Amino acid sequence: MPRARRWLGFGSVVGVTVPGRHLPEATIARLPRYLRALTELAEGDVATVSSESLAEMTALNAAKVRKDLSYLGTLGTRGSGYDVAILLGRIRAELGLTREWPVAIVGLGNLGRALALYGGLPARGFKVVALFDQDPDKWGEKVGGIAVSPATDLADIVSSSGVEIGVVATPASAAQGVADRLVGAGVTAILNFAPLSLSVPEGVALRHVDLSTELQILSFYQHQRSRHRPPVL
Amino acid sequence: MPRARRWLGFGSVVGVTVPGRHLPEATIARLPRYLRALTELAEGDVATVSSESLAEMTALNAAKVRKDLSYLGTLGTRGSGYDVAILLGRIRAELGLTREWPVAIVGLGNLGRALALYGGLPARGFKVVALFDQDPDKWGEKVGGIAVSPATDLADIVSSSGVEIGVVATPASAAQGVADRLVGAGVTAILNFAPLSLSVPEGVALRHVDLSTELQILSFYQHQRSRHRPPVL
DNA sequence: GTTTGTGAACCACTTCACAGCC
DNA sequence: GGCTGTGAAGTGGTTCACAAAC
């Protein structure tokens, strides 16, 4: 089996101040949590924060916070903690949130609609610029100010509008076809809400959010609780 | 720091055929994927399946599939594979899906509504039995056949209807209060869609789904791609 | 021949614990 | 004295590779 190696990143290319490279995936997945906490602190005009209190806000532990942040460089000050504004900027930069990302949503059922109308996206630098559905009744309808287009126009619109991130909110049966079309149109990151495992070419980033899966995991712990000892998580 | 130990489960209590205990958490989180694949196979009247093809369907690898399934007991047959029906039953049982779980959803904004109307839940044994919102305009309104109740009635309704799993779909500002009330009413598993880290007493299972977080992770990889080498995931 | 089940090796991530700096 | 940054130790999870079973 080929087993493509994941990340491979490393230090800077000649003199750019990119510090400790190869962020562990687990760390990457936590950066948004730090971001949230820091945003809150910044809004409350808190100037500095210790790893201890950041840990509390994010429900992590201080050692993990320090280790994670140390991958981004030497950002703290011993004795006093981290400067909120600096850390915020550094994490934003690391996550690529200094620019706006145009996003396309495919599938305007209840979920797709909810996503299209979700105010948290624009607030965080994601701009929904295109909506698609295969149902002719929906074409032209505006959701959150954006008109719904036929799924057949996906390739044209996506490539012309520079969308690189696609959200799949179709039923399972349509999802793989949609993913293929998104990839064909140049999308290189997909967030999948359909209840199946999509397959995408290597090089396309893929994340999967599934309500039923989450509930089933909770169900496991509930069930466990009733059988043996109280679990946690 | 106390650091409560997680799971602690072990073998059977006197002669019951509970095989290899202490499922790794990572395995638990994958059981729903196997379940999905097996359900599909069963619907197509496929009688047996190899770890290899199950791996393909779930986008995992065969070794992981076998290791995971081996925790559930000796379910396969060397030379021919796994019996779909048996495996399906075993995973359902492990996940506690042989009963129906009543679920309450708190917060009927766009997302809460979408969740309440999502057909995938009843299909998988989760029954939405109560809806709550703090907006008086919504009280009495029926969503998916269930009337929306005032959030103040939460404790009464939840405890009387036997809800053990709660879904938080409120804005961030209300979420912690809602979680506290759910826990107070006896809920021991919470699925949180609000964009903040909830804190719950030890012993309450908690999972967090956050759209913005997912997009930010994708943003990281996109950004990375533009800076260095093509990543994957 | 095919495919499972599983020790052993490997790797990623977490936590500890303390030196180093403010 | 307080708090970060980080090697080292510990833990959990994945992959390998092969003997055992059909």
- A76 CA to C21 C1' in angstroms comes to 11
Distance, in Å, from the CA atom of A131 to the CA atom of B130, rounded to the nearest integer, reads: 32
Closest CA-bearing residue to C1' of D14: B64
Nearest to A196 by CA among A184, A182, A210, A217: A210
Are B232 and A6 a contacting pair at CB < 8 A? yes
In tens, the pLDDT along A113-138 reads 999 999 999 999 999 999 999 999 99
Nucleotides of chain C touched by protein CB (<7 A):
1-7, 12-17, 20-22
What average pLDDT does the structure give for chain A? Answer: 90
Contacts (Cβ under 8 Å, ≥6 apart) of B208: B191, B192, B197, B198
What residues of A are in contact with residue B221 (Cβ under 8 Å)?
Answer: 189, 205
Phi and psi at residue B102, to the nearest 5°: -75, 135
In tens, the pLDDT along B75-125 reads 999 999 999 999 999 999 999 999 999 999 999 999 999 999 999 999 999
Contacts (Cβ under 8 Å, ≥6 apart) of B53: none
Cβ atoms B131, B151 nearer than 8 A: no
> Of A103, A218, A229, which has the smallest distance from its Cβ to B9's Cβ?
A229
**Which structural domains are found in chain B, ordered by start?**
25-95 (1.10.10.10), 101-213 (3.40.50.720)
> Of A96, A210, A212, which has the smallest distance from its Cβ to B220's Cβ?
A96
Hunting for tokens 């954006």 — which residue is that?
A146
Are B233 and A103 a contacting pair at CB < 8 A? no
Burial A76-99 (b: 16+ CB within 10 A, else e): beeeebbbbeebbebbbebbbbee
Nearest to B168 by CA among B214, B124, B200: B200
Average pLDDT value for residue range B144-152: 97
Candidate from A68-82, A184-198, B5-19 with smallest mean pLDDT: B5-19
In tens, the pLDDT along B174-222 reads 999 999 999 999 999 999 999 999 999 999 999 999 999 999 999 999 9
Nucleotides of chain D touched by protein CB (<7 A):
1-7, 12-17, 20-22
Burial A16-34 (b: 16+ CB within 10 A, else e): eebeeeebeeebbbbbbbb
Distance, in Å, from the CA atom of B5 to the CA atom of A230, rounded to the nearest integer, reads: 11
User: What is the CB-side half-sphere exposure of residue A64 using CA atoms within 13 A?
Assistant: 16
- pTM for the model stands at 0.90
Distance, in Å, from the CA atom of B10 to the CA atom of B5, rounded to the nearest integer, reads: 14
Bridge partner residues of A82 (DSSP): A49, A76
* Packing angle, helices A211-227 and B84-95, rounded to 10: 70
Measured in whole angstroms, how far is the alpha carbon of residue B185 from the centre of its chain? Answer: 21
- Sequential DSSP letters for B36-71: HHHHHHHHTT--EE-HHHHHHHHTS-HHHHHHHHHT
Nearest to B135 by CA among B147, B113, B114, B151: B151
Measured in whole angstroms, how far is the alpha carbon of residue A77 from the centre of its chain? Answer: 29
Cβ atoms A28, B222 nearer than 8 A: no
In this predicted structure, what is the pLDDT of residue B228?
Answer: 62
